[in-house]
Structure 1
Amino acid sequence: MDQKQIFAEKAGVSDEALSAFEAWHEALTRWNSRVNLVGRSTLDDFWIRHALDSIQVFQCAPEPGRWIDIGAGAGFPGIAVGIMQAEALAGETYLVETNGKKSAFLREAVRETGARASVHAKRWQQVPAERFDVVTARAFAPMPDLLEAAFAFWGEGTVGVFPKGKGWREEMQAASRDWRFDAKPIPSITGDGAILVVTELRRE
């Protein structure tokens, strides 16, 4: 079984959604030859390291809703979320990315995949503060700084879904000095880290 088949089986996506993920992979391969979006060696691991790793974030809070992905980069996990929202015909994801070339890639990825997403080429501090249903970010910042950014978009009932590496416990401990929150760690299916599902976020 190749990686794409493993992804399709574990993610449980439809043929239409799988085609959207294929379009994302193809766009990423084209662009990565001239724009440093991901490490070149990881393109061969797209289906597990990037696609499956991203879709598990959506599966931790699968309500389509309004999501915001801070520091969206090459679209992990925001494009994956937008593809699943298109599948559900509901919800939208704001992709926030300061880098102009990465933002241009994200716009093309949204067009080619049909993801329900919009690209905002600015710093998170420049995005109008409003409530989102879900806040997410991958490899954006350590937890104390990540929660500072997330709080700008937090409201009653907001959920944070943050993939973290094996040092997630230490990051949570550091964040608890300035923040109070409930967090449910869900073991990652693609590595030795965890997805932190954060609720009830408030300043210390």
Structure 2
Amino acid sequence: MGAAADVDKLEQHVNKYGDVSRETLRRLMVYVDLLLKWQKAQNLIAPSTIPEIWTRHVIDSLQTTWVMPDARVWVDIGSGGGFPGIVSAIVLADVAGAHVHLIESSQKKAAFLRAALRETGSKGTVHCGRIETVADGWDLGRVDGVSARALASLPELLALSRPFTSEGAVSVFHKGQDFQREVDEASHAWSFDLVEKKSVIDPMSRMLVLSNVSARPE
């Protein structure tokens, strides 16, 4: 389904997977249109995935807030083109106290993310810098959830998100069919409580929800 689909057809498509308000859908359409315009100048998503952008990227990203509906303050690490960070910000745009922090090292992608927040009227802050640098110097208050999609292996993600999870944040990571191998590998160095939720777009993939994360003694 393309970005020009009218909101009625889009609502019918998206709501096969989960509930989304019409205002959220309108904001998502603005975001997708903007992304496709910027895509011509910089590679925000893989070109081969453009025909499936709504299912492959948007609906997949909606799962972040679907699995943690009560979280209000998010940190999205390695935000890239905004999946899932911008999508989460759009979902939470009208929620009191909600805010999404997006960490992205590329200045060009950070500029796009700022434009996406502005054009969709969503609440968020873009931090342009390395994840380690931004996270280790964090002084912006509590974080409920940490998200990442197509960024790194699970052991790497647990290390990158440690400054937030050590303060009680819960991590939500999108993982593909090889998720069990990554979980097993991560468990050698990390202790955590894990809830696996099947992806709504791919039953072989998982949304990994990790809490009580701590490094195992060496």
Q: Provide the TM-score with structure 2 as the length reference.
A: 0.88
CA displacement at 1:152 relative to structure 2: 1.5
1:23-81 alpha-carbon deviations (Å, 9 max, x no partner): 01100110001100111231221111111000011111112421000000111101111
Question: Is 1:129 the counterpart of 2:138 in the alignment?
Answer: yes
How far apart, in 2, do the equivalents of 1:85 and 1:55 lie? 11
Larger displacement relative to structure 2 (152-161 or 28-37): 152-161
User: What residue in structure 2 maps to residue 139 of structure 1?
Assistant: 150
Cα deviations by residue, 1:155-183 (Å, 9 ceiling, x for unpaired): 45321111100111000111111100011
- Separation (CA, whole Å) in 2 of partners of 1:87 and 1:42: 29
CA distance in 1, matches of 2:167, 2:131: 20
* Contact 1:8/1:18 (8 A) holds in 2: no
Partner residue in 2 for 1:195: 207
**Equivalent in the alignment of 1:178:** 189
CA drift at 1:108: 0.7
- Tell me what 2:47 maps to: 40
- Partners of 2:162 and 2:188 in 1: CA distance: 15
1:203 corresponds to which letter in structure 2? A
State the SS of the aligned residue for 2:195: strand
**Would you say the 8 A contact 2:165–2:211 is kept in 1?**
no
Alignment check: 8 A CA contact 2:17 2:200 kept: no
Aligned equivalent of 2:57, options 44, 50, 55:
50
Question: Unmatched 5+ residue regions in structure 2?
Answer: none
Taking the aligned partners of 1:38 and 1:186, their CA distance within structure 2 comes to: 25
Distance 1:166 1:151 in 2: 24
Conserved 8 A contact 2:71-2:145: no
Counterpart for residue 164 of structure 2: 153
Q: TM-score, normalised by structure 1?
A: 0.94
Identity %: 37
Match of 2:165, SS? coil
Q: Return the match for 1:104 from 93, 97, 111.
A: 111
- List gaps (5 residues or longer) in structure 1: none
Amino acid at match of 2:205: G
* 2:79 equivalent in structure 1: 72
Aligned partner letter, 1:196:
L
**Cα distance 1:46–1:10, how it changes in 2: closer, same or farther (>3 A)?**
same
1:28 is matched with which residue?
35
Contact 2:165 2:212 in 1 (8 A): no
2:177 maps to 166
RMSD: 1.6
